């Protein structure tokens, strides 16, 4: 038996073994397929930039033209760089513009032409990967220069007005008030766009569009705040939805620090095709691994649709699967912001003890991961006084169980988009609890054989049983049957399926070759 919960190490090892067994066929699926977004990410790393007068990125136009001529299964790198040579062009963005006008034809090169196009595409993509490497090294220098917060958990706060130029001063104000990581929530519905908008944006809906320029503007602003405050302030956005790989590449290029990147969120909550999602998430996580980005997974969302007590074990199963997929893609434990949430109905007897059991179970299963602890949302009623108290309980559980990343809860959750004053009160709550009880984790040990230990053992046992059933049927079948978050998502349906292709025998992806190799 180990840790504060006396978990059986044999059972813990069994859980990981079963997660690997369930996840391995999905990894093989991802290794043998590509998507339009993976291929667009490759070309973004190779230098394609900008958008046409209608706002559609040139990279979309280029991939669409290649697919129309030769299909997707060969990859786009070789056909694009073969055409670049034949057209005697030096600029891949210019090639995209000519292709959109219909003045370029693509073919799958063979022989010496194939060798030359592959070599040229690898050089171009390697330059993009080297830029990501430089941004990672830059982050490491800034952390050494300005320092990290002196305590954990990191305080994580959301801004999202829809207008990046309004988000910036709000984010800087939040950093001054104590936030360590700023998350810019995406505009509603952006995950369903099969392109990344271009430029700075001012008209988002319940969030701000994620664009490369918006990434750049917010990163520059938080660098100013880091210099002012003497601690490095981290920036978070989303690598999810139909453009997950591209978002990961842009985040690496613009030095974002965390990205929401869950293996199943898009499937369950956005009805994105499961195969599309698993292919995209593997590539995106390879980019995150290279960029030194911490991923935040989305298990907290399951508990907004399913009961937090009855379905607690599905959160544990998803965490184990996310860990397996992340490790397989090259992410280290320090990059795994595995998600879970304070979502037990407060009217349930012993609700706080249940929350402690669930949170401590996650902490002990993933001791080296900076777990992302999410505040109550489902049972926030609009009573701001009750809500502030619940958020205080949430903050206390985070302190008692040693969470790594604590999202600031808002007492106005489910009432209004928070005002600066709401955020200030919420940050006061966090600062008070962490200031008064931030070290309680080292003192808090649940009673041997008591309620908390028994509940944690029950959840882990149920998780192992579910993983055994998933292994017998397959993960895709389990998702199709509504195992997670009660959403049924069959593998042959969902958005984005038409953008998936099985690899042909000559498929080539220089980005994967570099990311899986010894160097760039």
d(CA 488, CA 501): 23
Give the H or E element holding residue 305: helix 302-305
E strands, 130-232, in order: 154-159, 181-184
Cβ proximity of 509 and 33 under 8 Å: no
d(CA 425, CA 518): 49
Beta pairing class for 33-35 and 500-502: antiparallel
Could you say which of 167, 180, 195, 372 is catalytic? 372
Cβ proximity of 301 and 265 under 8 Å: yes
Helix, strand, coil content of the chain in percent (nearest 5) = 55, 10, 35
Tokens 């053992």 locate to 457
Catalytic-residue membership of 300: yes
d(CA 117, CA 419): 53
Query: Which residues sit opposite 7 in a β-bridge?
Result: 2
Tell which residue, 126, 128, 91, 125, has the closest CA to residue 253. 128
* Residue 405 φ then ψ, to 5°: -135, 120
CB 129: neighbour CB atoms within 10 A? 23
Tell which residue, 201, 206, 167, has the closest CA to residue 189. 206
Tell which residue, 184, 182, 178, 183, has the closest CA to residue 151. 178
Could you say which of 180, 300, 391, 422 is catalytic? 300
The structure tokens listed for 159 are 């801004």
Tell which residue, 29, 132, 117, 137, has the closest CA to residue 514. 132
> Torsion angle, CA of 462/369/331/43, rounded to 10 degrees?
100
Q: Is residue 32 classed as helix, strand or coil in its secondary structure?
A: coil
Query: Which residues sit opposite 235 in a β-bridge?
Result: 182
Tell which residue, 427, 360, 432, has the closest CA to residue 400. 360
Catalytic-residue membership of 372: yes
Tokens 């979502």 locate to 343
Tell which residue, 51, 153, 128, has the closest CA to residue 400. 153
Q: Is residue 238 classed as helix, strand or coil in its secondary structure?
A: strand
Counting Cβ atoms within 10 Å, is residue 271 exposed (0-12), middle (13-18) or buried (19+)? middle
Could you say which of 195, 209, 238, 265 is catalytic? 265
Q: Which residues are catalytic?
A: 265, 300, 372
């Amino acid at each position: 038996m180990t840790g504060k919960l006396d978990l059986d190490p044999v059972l813990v090892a069994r859980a990981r073994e079963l997660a690997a067994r369930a996840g391995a066929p999905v990894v093989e699926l991802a290794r043998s397929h590509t998507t339009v977004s993976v291929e667009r990410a490759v070309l973004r790393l190779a230098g394609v930039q900008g958008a046409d007068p209608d706002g559609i990125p040139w990279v979309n136009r280029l991939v669409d033209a290649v697919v129309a001529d030769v299909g997707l299964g060969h990859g786009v790198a070789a056909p694009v760089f073969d055409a670049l040579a034949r057209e005697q062009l030096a600029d891949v963005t210019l090639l995209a513009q000519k292709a959109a006008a219909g003045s370029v034809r693509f073919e799958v090169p063979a022989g010496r032409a194939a060798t030359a196009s592959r070599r040229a595409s690898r050089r171009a993509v390697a330059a993009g990967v080297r830029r990501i490497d430089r941004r990672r090294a830059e982050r490491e220098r800034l952390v050494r220069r300005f320092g990290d917060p002196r305590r954990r958990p990191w305080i994580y706060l959301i801004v999202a007005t829809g207008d990046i130029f309004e988000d910036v001063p709000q984010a800087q104000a939040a950093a001054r008030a104590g936030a360590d990581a700023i998350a810019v929530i995406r505009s509603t519905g952006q995950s369903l766009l099969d392109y990344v908008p271009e430029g700075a944006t001012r008209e988002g809906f319940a969030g701000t569009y994620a664009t490369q320029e918006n990434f750049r503007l917010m990163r520059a602003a938080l660098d100013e705040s880091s210099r002012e405050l003497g601690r490095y302030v981290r920036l978070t956005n989303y690598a999810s939805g139909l453009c997950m790989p591209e978002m990961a590449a842009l985040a690496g290029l613009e030095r974002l620090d965390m990205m929401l990147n869950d293996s199943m969120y898009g499937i369950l909550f956005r009805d994105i095709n499961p195969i599309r999602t698993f292919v995209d998430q593997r590539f995106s996580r390879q980019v995150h691994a290279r960029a030194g980005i911490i991923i935040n997974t989305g298990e907290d969302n399951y508990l907004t649709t399913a009961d937090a007590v009855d379905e607690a074990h599905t959160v544990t199963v998803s965490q184990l699967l996310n860990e397996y997929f992340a490790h397989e893609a090259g992410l280290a434990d320090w990059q795994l912001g595995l998600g879970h949430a304070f979502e037990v109905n407060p009217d349930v007897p012993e609700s706080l003890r249940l929350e402690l059991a669930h949170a401590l179970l996650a902490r002990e299963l993933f001791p080296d991961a900076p777990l992302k602890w999410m505040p109550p949302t489902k049972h926030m009623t609009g009573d701001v006084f009750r809500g502030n108290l619940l958020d205080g309980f949430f903050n206390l559980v985070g302190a008692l169980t040693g969470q790594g990343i604590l999202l600031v809860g808002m007492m106005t959750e489910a009432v209004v988009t928070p005002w600066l004053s709401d955020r200030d009160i919420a940050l006061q709550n966090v600062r008070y609890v962490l200031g008064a009880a931030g070290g309680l984790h080292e003192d808090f040990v649940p009673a041997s054989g008591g309620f908390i230990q028994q509940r944690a053992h029950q959840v882990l046992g149920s998780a192992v049983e579910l993983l055994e059933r998933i292994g017998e049927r397959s993960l895709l079948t389990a998702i199709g049957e509504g195992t997670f978050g009660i959403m049924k998502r069959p593998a042959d349906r969902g958005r984005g399926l038409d953008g998936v292709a099985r690899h042909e025998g000559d498929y080539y992806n220089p980005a994967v070759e570099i990311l899986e190799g010894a160097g760039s």
